[in-house]
Amino acid sequence: MQRIPRRAAIKTVYPDHSPISAFRFARPPSSLPPVSEQDSPTAITFASREDQASVDEASNFCPKFNADGLIPALALDEESREPLMMAWMNEEALRRTLELGEAVYFSRSRQELWHKGATSGHTQKVLEIRTDCDQDALILYVRQQGAGACHTGRRSCFYRTVTPGDPSALNFVQERAFDPDKVYGTQAP
Amino acid sequence: MQRIPRRAAIKTVYPDHSPISAFRFARPPSSLPPVSEQDSPTAITFASREDQASVDEASNFCPKFNADGLIPALALDEESREPLMMAWMNEEALRRTLELGEAVYFSRSRQELWHKGATSGHTQKVLEIRTDCDQDALILYVRQQGAGACHTGRRSCFYRTVTPGDPSALNFVQERAFDPDKVYGTQAP
């Protein structure tokens, strides 16, 4: 069932210091295959990890999953560059994300694949994925569908800042963008 | 030894969708106290965690540390909003960060506090810290000192993108900004 998305250059919308190449996953959402543990696994494979120096300079993607089989993934809004959410992926979630072009995480609380937005409609179209020097973290530049990414009704999960003068206190810096009860009902996001 | 930085409003430099409040940690770098495990712990304390709903809407900062006592922290450039690096903090690293106004992480490989830039000079002045809905992740908006954050010599650790059409391959999207051998010598960053 491996159908690799076609790549197509898009205009880079954020003012990075260095030239970057950005790609659009081209499969339309309507053709999304179901995402569940029961589906046959995708055929995408990752490279094996060699020594640290090799990983740093490798042009092979060899993501490092932790003892729980997970890698952290931070979703950034591709336009505003606002951090939207941080979640985790296991190998299969990362494969599905690469295949679908939409963010698929692994829910640690439910211990299952989590196609973000499957119930709320607030999917995340993935435009670019970056990894870091030791390939144990991922950045996803996403186009957030719907009013927001957070189950509390905010656009971003990072809606509070720490107060330097009083580190025990938080400041709310975002209003709710949607009513979570209407979007999620009583179901967990 | 608790000396809480004074707060001072600064102009928000990134085009967020929502109004945000940003603060500048005001202590000059020259007054940094030494950072080591041997120092007496700081007096900053965090709130205790209640139920999930309470944490989501709390104005108390009650960060969640994982089984290893760590919380992930992603540093974003406060001007370009480029992701610079992802690292981890234990409670003491977070306290030091709040006290110093510069990023102090916990090195998992060395199992010790890691005042970023202590050897390279590439410190990170922390302008804002955000936490997410369940307070188990941190975003740091930082002013990166020196040419870059990455031990490989790039400005950002996220210098490679995954190729959608060939997920086993990475594209390099950043050049080296400095010679890591000259900055770090043979020492690990």
CATH no. for residue A108? 3.10.20.810
Q: How many domains does chain A have?
A: 1
Report whether pLDDT(B130) > 50. yes
Tell me if A2 is assigned to some domain: yes
Measuring CA to CA, which residue among B31, B143, B28 is closest to residue B76? B143
Helix (H, G, I), strand (E, B) or coil at A121: coil
Preferred mutation among A94, A109, A158, A176 to probe B, highest tally of B CBs within 10 A: A158
Q: Give the span between the Cα atoms of A121 and A189, in whole angstroms.
A: 11
Tell me if A119 is assigned to some domain: yes
Measuring CA to CA, which residue among B60, B10, B154 is closest to residue A170? B60
Task: Render pLDDT for B58-114 as a digit per residue (tens, 0 to 9).
Answer: 999 999 999 999 999 999 998 888 899 999 999 999 999 998 889 999 999 999 999
Tell me if A19 is assigned to some domain: yes
Interchain CB distance below 8 Å, A20 and B161: yes
Report whether pLDDT(B22) > 50. no
Preferred mutation among B2, B96, B158 to probe A, highest tally of A CBs within 10 A: B158
Residues 107-146 of A with CB under 8 A from B: 128-133, 137, 139
Mean predicted confidence (pLDDT) in A85-104: 94
> For chain B, what percent of residues have pLDDT higher than 70?
75
Strand partners of residue B102: B125
Residue B146's alpha-carbon distances to B122, B134, B150, in angstroms, are 5, 33, 11
Tell me if A33 is assigned to some domain: no
Tell me if A9 is assigned to some domain: yes
Residues 38-67 of B with CB under 8 A from A: 44-47, 56-61
Smallest CA–CA distance, residue B130 to chain A, in Å, is 4
Domain extent, residue A68, equals 1-27+60-148
Q: Which two tokens stand for residue B117?
A: 């830039």
Tell me if A181 is assigned to some domain: no
Tell me if A177 is assigned to some domain: no
Please, how many CA atoms are within 13 Å of residue B152, restricted to the half-sphere of its CB?
24
The single residue listed with the structure tokens 């031990």 is B151
- Where helices occur in A90-145 by DSSP H, the ranges are 91-100
- Where helices occur in B24-177 by DSSP H, the ranges are 52-57, 91-100
DSSP secondary structure letter of residue A134: T
Smallest CA–CA distance, residue A150 to chain B, in Å, is 8
